[in-house]
Amino acid sequence: MFLDTPINKISGIGLKFQQKLKKMGVKTAEDLVFHFPHRYEDFSNIQPISKVKINQTNCFAGKILEIKNTKTWKKKMILTEALIEDKTGAIKAIWFNQYYLTKFLKPGDFVCLAGKVLLGSMGLYLSSPVYEKISGFEFQSAELAHTGRLVPVYPETEGLSSKWLRWILWEFLKKFKTQIQDSLPEDVIKKNNFLPIQKAIWQIHFPDSVLQAEKARERFSFEQLFLIEIAVLKERLRMNQEKAPAIPLNVEIIKKFVGSLKFILTDAQRKCAWQIVKDLEKPTPCSRLLQGDVGSGKTLVAVIAALNVVKAGWQVAFMAPTEILTKQHFREVAKLLSSFKIRIALLTGKEDKIISQKLHCITKDGVIPDVLEISRAKLLEKAKKGEIDILIGTHSLIQDKVKFAKLGLCVIDEQHRFGVEQRSKLIQKSRGLKEKVLLPHFISVTATPIPRSLALTIYGNLDLSVLDEMPEGRKKIITKVVTPEQRNETYNFIRKRIEAGEQAFVICPRIETGNKEGKEEKVNLHTKIFGVEAIPAVKEISSWSEVKAVEEEYKKLSQEIFPELKVAMLHGRMKPAEKEKIMRDFKNKKIDILVSTSVVEVGIDIPSATVMIIEGAERFGLAQLYQFRGRIGRADLQSHCFLFSDSRSVKTRARLKALLEAKNGFELAQKDLEIRGPGSFSGVKQWGIPDLAMENLKNLVLVEQTRVAAKEILQKDPELKNFPLLRQKLEKFKEKIHLE
């Protein structure tokens, strides 16, 4: 039971350190034990003083002959100097501004020290070494925690060092490691030849060798991914036990719809649509992730499913993260279904404008230009009575006042932009038939490139449908990295394209600066998922620095670079009506160049926009750059994307080169994962996934290995009744993570 002990009950941890530990998410003894090091310093080679090497890290044991504090006159710095000797010689150790050391280290003390040896005006000296006391020259290496071994370095916070963590963990584990019980099933441990839990926990903190450290990390990496897989698969099993409306496949209506299109479906669209409509026939909830590149036809596939559901007598809720995207979906869905007399409504608006907000509804005869305006109250009443077939909206769909008579399908676009609770609220909107509660089917639509290993892990409770084919006639977008020296040439190229009747986007990154009041800039509230600066579900927020960046770029382009052209700007702090007017003017070619923040990342379709400049391209994730680029190339015209970057770093060049070379979104996602790691790439920190699991999300072999093991356990024992420790560990684990 000691693992449940709160930090404030552990001896030796004062209030100051309790607060700092809690800041890092360490609230109990168990959290402390599983706060693993992220790397190690190799101080294992203890050398005689006579063999120290200049400009290298050395470790040696010796006796303090003298130690004193002195003050430098020039820099007014206090130096602590100690003379250390062993049987082969003597050397100075110097610490800077650590005058208190003379209280702990006295002449005659035996110490082991590790640090870099430098040569200066004072001769050879050990600079600011790590130290710890030892019993004498005949000490045992097992006594050492900070020197003379592989030394753990932990994730830290201000005022809480790795040395302090080593000190507390060294004492804590020595007393209590035997009480740590293994939650992994015995068969799994034997099959994978894992270290026993008590040995593994010691070896990951204080390893005897690199091999032992690797074996311990392998064991805990497996365990953390295994718990994720168990949680995901159990959720899948739970959903399979729920009931959903069995929607029969209406072949005739789908044939009619496909025949009404002015283009031919791609094979990928046919395949994905078939997978979904066959899922809808089942009496258990469909849970499917529809993934495809920008422009691959995801909305079209979702509309086929929605049409099939509506014609079976059920309603559809279609939720998107922004008003711009919702309105585009409204227009697109209405246009696609204009000959089917489907009642489609749009629900948007801020909560403080509910009373005055007007909403739009397609008339029964399907006419789109002359939409019927009705009050919000009237629209909600119609939805509740089942008189609206498809309701498209933002987060406003999850408000308590929004109710459905027979909700059969939820389609959520870019679902990672919504909180878990918001998504579940929408899914629970259906009250079903009186005699039983039916959950609606669920389709998540995303253009975000997802590597297979990440999809298997995070989205493992969803079936995956992939649109890996683009419609005919689309030309590959030519993408180039532009250095400062090449800017004028690029501007001239853009001028010629606009003179030919085309249009251009210019995307600005958020700049680091103070706000107008001189205060520190507020933390960007956007949720970072898959490298995307996501727009929050509750409010569209654009920091003042983003606005400032757009205003400065707009001024430069409109006054200095393209004074003869029509330049406009767009950012998240504009009122919805103002944003909508700008986008309408841009679409109607009243604007040549649109300077914008990441608000254009999704939901904007301008066929004549063929050029995109992305300023400060190195500041965006690859997936986000990929999404930006997808805003052009929407017709049969040749499009160009220019990545403006002043950075010369090797990592930046590698990332931007990956965007140039990747053949599709999946390949790009994998490269992004390899270059930046899942912590940066996927924002899994938002889900509370432990560091070891994060590091190994890109390890497809390990992901599949843990998935197989999880399936085997759950097939034998779905409720984990025979594995009480695993069940207990899983419940605690689920409290900390928030999987999609």
Q: Identify the pLDDT of residue 122.
A: 76
> Sign of the C-alpha dihedral, residues 707, 709, 711, 714?
negative
pLDDT in tens, 245-281: 999 999 999 999 999 998 889 999 999 999 999 999 9
Alpha-carbon distance of 306 to 302, in angstroms, equals 6
Number of domains in the chain: 3
pLDDT in tens, 127-177: 999 999 998 888 877 789 999 999 999 988 888 889 999 999 998 888 888
- How large is the average pLDDT for residues 644-661? 83
Does 488 lie in the same domain as 435? Answer: no
Q: Confidence class of residue 308 from pLDDT cuts 50, 70 and 90? A: very high
Does 482 lie in the same domain as 430? Answer: no
Does 442 lie in the same domain as 327? Answer: yes
pLDDT in tens, 553-599: 999 999 999 999 999 998 877 887 788 788 889 988 999 999 988 76
Which positions ≥6 away from 161 have C-beta within 8 Å? none
In a domain, 83, yes or no: yes
Last residue of a domain, which of 422, 446, 470? 446
CA distance to 28, 224, 433, 726, per residue, from 733 (Å): 13, 9, 36, 10
On the question of pLDDT at 88 being above 90, the answer is yes
The range of the structural domain enclosing residue 553 comes to: 478-513+525-663
Mean pLDDT lowest for which of 320-329, 645-654, 658-667? 658-667
In a domain, 350, yes or no: yes
Last residue of a domain, which of 609, 634, 663? 663
On the question of pLDDT at 301 being above 50, the answer is yes
Question: DSSP character for 558?
Answer: I
Element of type H or E holding 189: helix 186-192
Does 488 lie in the same domain as 552? Answer: yes
In a domain, 728, yes or no: no
Does 121 lie in the same domain as 263? Answer: no
On the question of pLDDT at 241 being above 90, the answer is no
- How large is the average pLDDT for residues 614-628? 82
Q: Identify the pLDDT of residue 424.
A: 58
Does 412 lie in the same domain as 539? Answer: no
On the question of pLDDT at 534 being above 50, the answer is no
CATH of the domain at 400: 3.40.50.300
Last residue of a domain, which of 663, 678, 710? 663
Does 509 lie in the same domain as 367? Answer: no
In a domain, 717, yes or no: no
Phi and psi based region of residue 136 (left: phi greater than 0; alpha: psi -120 to 50; beta: remaining):
left
Q: Identify the pLDDT of residue 274.
A: 96
Q: Identify the pLDDT of residue 358.
A: 47
Residue with tokens 């025979």: 722
Alpha-carbon distance of 32 to 9, in angstroms, equals 13
- How large is the average pLDDT for residues 342-359? 58
The number of residues in the chain equals 740
Q: Identify the pLDDT of residue 155.
A: 84
Q: Identify the pLDDT of residue 395.
A: 78
Does 657 lie in the same domain as 539? Answer: yes
Q: Confidence class of residue 636 from pLDDT cuts 50, 70 and 90? A: confident
Percent of residues, the chain, with pLDDT higher than 70: 81
In a domain, 732, yes or no: no
Does 545 lie in the same domain as 399? Answer: no
Q: Identify the pLDDT of residue 361.
A: 59
In a domain, 556, yes or no: yes
Backbone angles phi, psi at 166, to 5 degrees: -60, -40
- Secondary structure of 267-336 as H, E, C letters: HHHHHHHHHHHHHHCCCCCCEEEEEECCCCCHHHHHHHHHHHHHCCCCEEEEECCCHHHHHHHHHHHHHH
Q: Identify the pLDDT of residue 188.
A: 93
Does 359 lie in the same domain as 275? Answer: yes
Provide the mean pLDDT of the chain: 81
Alpha-carbon distance of 134 to 85, in angstroms, equals 14
Which positions ≥6 away from 31 have C-beta within 8 Å? 7, 21, 25
pLDDT in tens, 360-413: 555 444 444 445 667 788 888 888 899 899 999 887 787 778 889 999 999 988
CATH of the domain at 98: 2.40.50.140
Q: Identify the pLDDT of residue 217.
A: 93
Q: Confidence class of residue 740 from pLDDT cuts 50, 70 and 90? A: very low
Radius of gyration of the chain (CA): 31
Which token pair is 536? 């929050």
On the question of pLDDT at 20 being above 60, the answer is yes
Does 583 lie in the same domain as 543? Answer: yes
Q: Which residue has the higher pLDDT, 690 or 329?
A: 329
- Strands 567-570 vs 287-292: parallel, antiparallel or unpaired: unpaired
Closest CA to 129 of 76, 84, 189: 84
Does 131 lie in the same domain as 71? Answer: yes
In a domain, 542, yes or no: yes
In a domain, 33, yes or no: no
- Strands 315-319 vs 390-393: parallel, antiparallel or unpaired: parallel
